[in-house]
């Protein structure tokens, strides 16, 4: 792996504030392991040429919630969550019983992440083990960083998407064996029960036990829509809350990422915060399906870690820049304005911390991985205009060089 020296304009995230320092001319040096060795304003007379004129470098985006087998149904509207799952999502996800189809889409999926400047993703794989293995293989070849899992369902979906707990857990073990920890932890397996509606208590219990046995991250959906919450209350009577259903099966802890969290009471936010779980905020998806608007302020006030998720295919784009705009809109509509820099910070450092990668990803400091993307930007933007441009003009400009641990993502 080549050691790299990059010179140019950088947005360097702050560790303790949701913003960035704008360094108009800085030099970033990484070693042959892809770790940052030094990063500082370019010293006078350095003699290093500007690496790519016209770009701003920033940490690669972290997509904290995205569905691989929905790549080809992005932007397909058919109703609210449960109707959309039935009409749009399940028929498409059923196609992944063919390995060749999964192969094709996995290549498209990885390409979409890279072309939007995303270097890390928390991915809901297929419900088919072979297709999920093909996803891992494509991520490996692409040099992306990811955690991904077999999407677990044993009820509430067409039979081709459901797998009995016994078989599903064996398939998870095989995937763990093959993919968990590959390339020094660049790829990780994540226990991924789809949501309580599509899992029996037995499946949830075993998923929780699997996560504990292998010390794995967990991802699932929580309180996205009112219909869904009603269905969970009916299927799991006797629990204090939707969160409590997952907690009862050992699925909630500091390694858990909960998608959506739109309809939580203050008490539920308190319980979530106390559990140490993180949130994947998916504001574009929430708008598209009419799910509601998550209260970012409730998470922030309690110190809950938050990342941003495109939630493709309910999210209409693989672009975390678009998700930043949606997060801004969502916050405004709840009367709790955030800045575009805060949204961009959540899409980078926030996501890295939500996914448990805080020691390696997000910040641009010595010791951190050289996970970067170069965004084309118009000349002459001051710092505020640059934040606005990145968050609100996602359609302008392209992403140039994307690196994970200093290696090109392809
Ligand atoms: N809840 C359960 N499955 C899904 C899904 O695929 N997308 C979204 N947005 N919510 C879900
Ligand atoms: Fe989702």
Write the DSSP string, 7-40.
Answer: EEEEEEE-SSSSSEEEEEEEEEEE-TTSBEEEEE
Q: How far is it between the farthest Cα atoms of the chain?
A: 70
The protein residue whose alpha carbon is closest to atom 7 in ligand 1 is 314
The arrangement of secondary structure in 5-59+363-408, i.e. its CATH architecture, is Roll (2.30)
pLDDT tens track for 106-144: 999 999 999 999 999 999 999 999 999 999 999 999 999
Question: In this prediction, what percent of the chain has a pLDDT beyond 90?
Answer: 99
Q: Name which of 159, 36, 145 is nearest 94 in CA terms.
A: 159
CA distance 112 to 234: 38
How confident is residue 1, by pLDDT bands cut at 50, 70 and 90? low
d(CA 70, CA 121): 14
Q: If you measure from the C-alpha of residue 75 to the centroid of ligand 2, how many angstroms do you get, rounded to a whole number?
A: 14
- The tokens for 57 are 């470098």
Does residue 3 surpass a pLDDT of 80?
no
The structural domains of the chain, with segments of one domain joined by +, span: 5-59+363-408, 61-354
- Which whole number is the average pLDDT over 253-274? 98
**Nearest partner of 241 among 224, 265, 259, judged by Cα:** 265
**CB under 6 Å to ligand 1: residues?**
67, 81, 85, 89, 194-195, 221, 224, 285, 311, 314
Whether 282 and 316 have beta carbons less than 8 Å apart is answered as: no
Which residues partner with 192 through β-bridges? 151
- DSSP conformation class of 80: S
Mean pLDDT of the region 190-213: 98
Q: Are 5-59+363-408 and 61-354 equal in CATH topology?
A: no
Residues 288-338 have pLDDT tens digits of 999 999 999 999 999 999 999 999 999 999 999 999 999 999 999 999 999
CATH 3.20.20.140 fits 61-354, yes or no: yes
Of 254, 306, 128, 327, residue with least CA distance to 136: 128
**Cα gap 228→234, rounded to integer Å:** 10
């Amino acid at each position: 792996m080549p050691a790299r020296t990059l010179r140019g304009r950088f947005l360097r995230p702050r560790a303790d504030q949701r913003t960035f320092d704008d360094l108009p001319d800085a030099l970033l040096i990484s070693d042959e392991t892809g770790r940052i060795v030094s990063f500082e304003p370019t010293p006078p007379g350095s003699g290093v040429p500007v690496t790519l004129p016209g770009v701003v470098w920033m940490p690669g985006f972290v997509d904290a919630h995205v569905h691989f087998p929905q790549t080809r149904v992005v932007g397909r509207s058919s109703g609210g969550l449960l109707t959309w799952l039935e009409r749009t999502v399940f028929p498409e996800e059923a196609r992944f019983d063919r390995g060749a189809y999964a192969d094709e889409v996995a290549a498209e999926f990885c390409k979409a992440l890279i072309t939007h400047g995303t270097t890390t993703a928390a991915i809901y794989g297929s419900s088919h083990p072979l297709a999920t293995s093909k996803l891992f293989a494509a991520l490996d070849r692409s040099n992306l960083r990811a955690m991904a899992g077999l999407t677990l369902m044993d009820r509430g979906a067409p039979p081709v998407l459901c797998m009995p707990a016994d078989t599903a857990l064996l398939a998870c073990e095989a995937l763990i064996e093959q993919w968990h920890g590959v390339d020094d932890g660049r790829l990780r397996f994540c226990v991924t029960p789809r949501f309580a509606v599509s899992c029996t208590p037995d499946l949830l219990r075993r998923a929780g036990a699997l996560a504990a046995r292998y010390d794995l991250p967990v991802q699932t959906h929580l309180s996205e829509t009112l219909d869904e919450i009603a269905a969970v209350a009916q299927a799991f009577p006797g629990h204090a809350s939707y969160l409590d259903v997952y907690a009862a099966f050992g699925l909630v802890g500091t390694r858990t990422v909960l998608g959506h969290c739109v309809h939580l009471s203050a008490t539920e936010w308190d319980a979530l915060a106390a559990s140490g779980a993180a949130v994947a905020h998916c504001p574009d998806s929430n708008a598209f399906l009419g799910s509601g608007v998550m209260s970012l302020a409730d998470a922030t006030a309690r110190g809950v870690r938050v990342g941003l998720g495109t939630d493709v295919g309910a999210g209409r784009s693989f672009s975390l820049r678009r998700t930043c705009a949606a997060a801004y809109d969502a916050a405004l509509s709840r009367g709790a304005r955030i800045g575009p820099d805060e949204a961009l910070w959540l899409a980078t450092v926030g996501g890295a911390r939500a996914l448990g990668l805080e020691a390696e990803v997000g910040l641009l400091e010595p010791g951190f991985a050289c996970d970067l993307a170069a965004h084309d930007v118009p000349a002459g933007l001051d710092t505020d205009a640059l934040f606005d441009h990145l968050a609100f003009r996602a359609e302008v400009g392209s992403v140039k060089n994307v690196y994970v641990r200093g290696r090109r993502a392809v």
